[in-house]
Amino acid sequence: MKDDVVDVVIVGAGQAGLSLSHELAAAGVDHVVLERGRVGETWRGRWDSFCLVIPNWTVQLPGGHYRGDDPDGFMPKNEIVSHLMAYAESFRAPVREGVTVTSLEAAENGSFLLRTSTGEIRAKRVVLASGGYQKAHRPPAAAELPASVHVIDAEDYANPTALPPGNVLVVGSGQTGCQLAEELSAAGRGVSLACGRAPWIPRRIEGRDTIAWLNETSWFEIRLSDLPSPAARLLANPQMSGGHGGHDLNYRTLQAQGVRLLGRFIGVADGRAYFGRDLAQSVAFGDARYADVCELIRKACATRSVRAPEMPPPPPFVADAPESMALSDVGTIIFTSGFRPDYASWVRCPQAFDEGGFPIQEDGSSTTVPGLHFMGVHFQRKRKSATFLGAAEDATVLAETLSAG
């Protein structure tokens, strides 16, 4: 592929990259999609029992809506991958699988040079659709753990039987942390969960999925500028589960199941892991976010002059958390403390990113590097941007920009 020159190169063949490819193909824009693995590679790498947390009907890719017979269900990962593969085939997406982009840099005449595992490619414009978060994040205290402790990130977890014997400490209590804690506890492991500030919502309100209620509010439309600070975009997604038909999953359900809840992980000393005295505050934070959601739903119902559903307050919570535990009692520690952007490790355009590593962009187009664009970034345009529900809207907007260029 030496001297390969392309008008538009899209890096990543997940739902974001494929959605844009669909729109560019419809507009007749010459482009190619580079994928390090196979179509939907990120989904393929999830743990064995992974499934969607938001309902199947939210899969609304342009020209690729969910058309199965279970719109209110939650596709397991193999069905998600199959949907994306069929979607790519439906419009003959120009995907080159097995091509890893190792670096991207500016070249002459405003073009870009992509170095890949199969050669160099020159492009007039580049769209990075490799996901908003690419690097597993661990809290600073993780560096204090001795080498004798078996430590993995959530992306390396497959199933309970793949772990060494013994109790498990899960650090991080967003959707992933809660789901892994629940699965491991159900498998008979002794599980402790180091908790942080995470919102939660019930799976259903009056028999209707809460996501459907929220879709009738402004919740998914929230923009980055509406948040109290840019750092607020790092707040975890609401705790709930799509597993086993969808069910409530939060601090209270985990505590009832026998998971030991702890404060946030703050350090290691003398063979013990230490935790903050903040479990009650973390639970209160989640409860406050639930109250915010209830208020949004009530206001939306009032606007449409329909009856608001009953949304009872959560039951009392007893925070009885030990402040430390012996590392000798732990067989595995799993960090599920989120992900951070990792563009800077391979994109040689430092001015394109803010201090947190996020793209400086508007509607998916870099405001500092002409010709550089993004898809699938968390809060790219709205809260829903990095989801199956928001990809189509963002792809339409960006495709119009690229078509005009």
User: Can you tell me which residue has the tokens 């030991």?
Assistant: 260
User: Which amino acid does the sequence have at 253?
Assistant: T
| Residue bearing tokens 């990095």 | 386
In this structure, of 144-153, 198-207, 233-242, the range with the lowest mean pLDDT score is 233-242
Which of 363, 345, 344 has its CA nearest to residue 353? Answer: 344
Q: Which of 93-97, 244-248, 298-302, 333-337 has the lowest mean pLDDT?
A: 333-337
Question: Are 248 and 238 within 8 A, CB to CB?
Answer: no
Decide: 179 and 52 in contact? Cβ < 8 Å.
no
Quickly state the pLDDT bin for 1 (edges 50, 70, 90): very low
Q: What is the pLDDT of residues 197-228, one digit of tens each?
A: 999 999 999 999 999 999 999 999 999 888 88
Query: How far apart are the C-alpha atoms of 250 and 178, rounded to whole Å?
Result: 7
Pairing of strands 324-326, 330-335: unpaired
**pLDDT score of 2:** 44
pLDDT in tens, 284-303: 999 999 999 999 999 999 99
Find the radius of gyration of the CA atoms of the chain: 22
Structure-token pair, residue 346:
């391979």
Distances (CA, A) of 321 to 69, 218, 261: 44, 36, 6
Taking the C-alpha atoms of residue 372 and residue 158, their distance in angstroms, rounded to an integer, is: 35
Output phi, psi for 33, to 5 deg.
Answer: -110, 120
Q: Would you say residue 369 has pLDDT above 90?
A: yes
| 41 and 18 Cβ atoms separated by less than 8 Å | no
